Structure formats: C-alpha cells, structure tokens
Amino acid sequence: MDTADATAGAATDPLTFRTATEADVAGLVALIESAYRGDASRAGWTTEADILDGQRTDPEGVADVVRAENGRMVIVERNGELIACCQLERHDDHAYFGMFAVRPELQGGGLGKVIIAEAERFVRVEWGAKEMRMTVISAREELIAWYERRGYARTGQMTPFPYGDERFGVPRRADLEFELLIKPLG
C-alpha cells in the first residue's frame, strides 16, 4: 500500500496510501480520537460518543500496531495531509482490519469505500488472504449495516467489551460487546 494512488468520490486530488512510522503516532492518535470520541466526532457519522466516554486508543497502542511484524498501520493522505487510517494484520489464511478512521468532516463522501476496497485488494494480492475479518461493537447497527453493504457478514460470534480497562474507553452502557464480521476475498 505504499505510494498507491486512488480517487475517492468527487475529490479530484489522489489519495496516497503509505505504511505509518513511529513519527506518525501522535497524528494517528489524534485522528482516531477525533473520529470516534468527544464532541468533535459528532461531525461525522462514526462517532461512539453516545456509548463510550474516555479514549479510543493511546500512543502506546498505536505504536504497537505501527511496530507489529505481522501487519501494518496504513496512512491515507491527500496532498500530504493525514485524512484516514486503518490497521491491517496478517494471519495464516485471513487478514484483520481495524483502527479504521476517517476525519469526521470527510465522512459520508465515499472515502471509506475507497479505503476499505484498497485494503481488501492489498491483503488479497500481497498477502494471499482469503478473507477479511473485523470486530465491531454490536450496538453500532448503522456501522454494521455499512459494512454489510460492502460484503461483510455478521457471524453472531461475540467477544466481551473490556469493561474496566479504560484504555478502550469508559462505557456508558452495560451491554457492549464485539461481533466478528467476515468477508470472503475470492
């Protein structure tokens, strides 16, 4: 995904995809937080502000993803400006997609579709992945529906939310859990 270009929606300036470095960690944390937490996240549609307070991630967690040998943190830029990111993690027969964030004011314009399609292409072609997996908070019905429109299927396989571990946020409700979504990459 390094230096690949793509176009999103009506935007005329190409997107650049590159692998993040440790120098990118602070900007990535700020982007991820802005897309999911606090009032700033309400400018987009992916906010979790109604179900979680506190942080979404921290510099240590993002740095761990950046340094991971079995994956990469992908930065998406337009004109040299960080506008989105995602985590790709390589496993034997599949890849994991996570830490997906798009600047709130750019959400809803087709950028996410372009990024996830490029991520799927990359893991299929470069890693030979047969499917993409992700986990989504099951209460996020609108977000799950967005992924379903991209070909992801709900599995019903749930894992508990890490209640009590504030590195993942402070829940505002007691029924949070993650559901595994899978898409064959054929």
Q: Which residues pair with 7 in a beta bridge?
A: none
Cite the DSSP H helix spans in the chain: 25-36, 59-67, 111-127, 141-149
Report if residue 40 sits inside a domain: yes
Q: Is 129 helix (H, G, I), strand (E, B) or coil?
A: coil
Print the domain residue range for 117: 4-132
Q: What is the CATH number of the domain that holds 47?
A: 3.40.630.30
Helix and strand numbers, DSSP H then E, in the chain: 4, 10
List per-residue pLDDT tens for the chain, 186 residues long. 654 545 444 456 899 999 999 999 999 999 999 999 888 888 888 888 889 888 889 999 999 999 999 999 999 999 999 999 999 999 999 999 999 999 999 999 999 999 999 999 999 999 999 999 999 999 999 999 999 999 999 999 999 999 998 888 889 999 999 999 999 998
d(CA 48, CA 112): 17
* Total number of domains in the chain: 1
- Residue 104 domain-assigned? yes
Predicted model pTM: 0.90
